[in-house]
């Protein structure tokens, strides 16, 4: 049983950096054939994939945020992080971390669609992050 838990500040000021940590329990970030993702749901909108990091440390970013996103992992703590720079109120959302099995059909460069998001088998409970001054 894999559990994921998001943590970080719930309020971020515009133009600042949104930073979150996903702690993973019951699974190892370096175990072959899994990727670890950041996904968000803005109010009234669909889930949006932001980025993922693989079991080997490769990273993939959504074209919609690739210019201002960074995903890292700390294998000693079995955690991975999200850093979203220069945020605006449009970045207000519930942020999730999740795991997805490796699949050659995942379209990393063009972004993950809803059907691919549904492949994620474990999800955190989500954390509300509001961007406001």
Q: At which residue do the structure tokens 């989500």 appear?
A: 126
DSSP 26: S
70-85 pLDDT, tens digit each: 999 999 999 999 999 9
**Cα–Cα distance for residue pair 130/133, rounded to 1 Å:** 10
- Which residue did the predictor score with more confidence, 115 or 38? 38
36-75 pLDDT, tens digit each: 999 999 999 999 999 999 999 999 999 999 999 999 999 9
Q: How far apart are the first and last CA of the chain?
A: 39
Residue 103, pLDDT score:
76
């Amino acid at each position: 049983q894999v559990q994921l838990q998001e943590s970080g500040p719930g309020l971020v000021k515009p133009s600042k950096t949104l930073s979150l940590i996903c702690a993973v329990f019951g699974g190892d970030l370096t175990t072959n054939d899994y990727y670890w993702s950041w996904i968000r749901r803005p109010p009234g909108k669909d889930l949006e994939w932001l980025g993922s990091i693989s079991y080997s440390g490769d990273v993939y970013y959504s074209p919609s945020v690739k210019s201002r996103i960074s995903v890292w992992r700390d294998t000693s703590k079995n955690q991975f992080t999200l850093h979203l720079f220069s945020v605006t109120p449009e970045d207000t959302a519930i942020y999730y971390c999740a795991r997805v099995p490796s699949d050659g059909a995942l379209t990393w460069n063009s972004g993950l669609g809803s059907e691919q998001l549904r492949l994620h088998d474990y999800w955190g409970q989500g954390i509300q992050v509001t961007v406001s001054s």
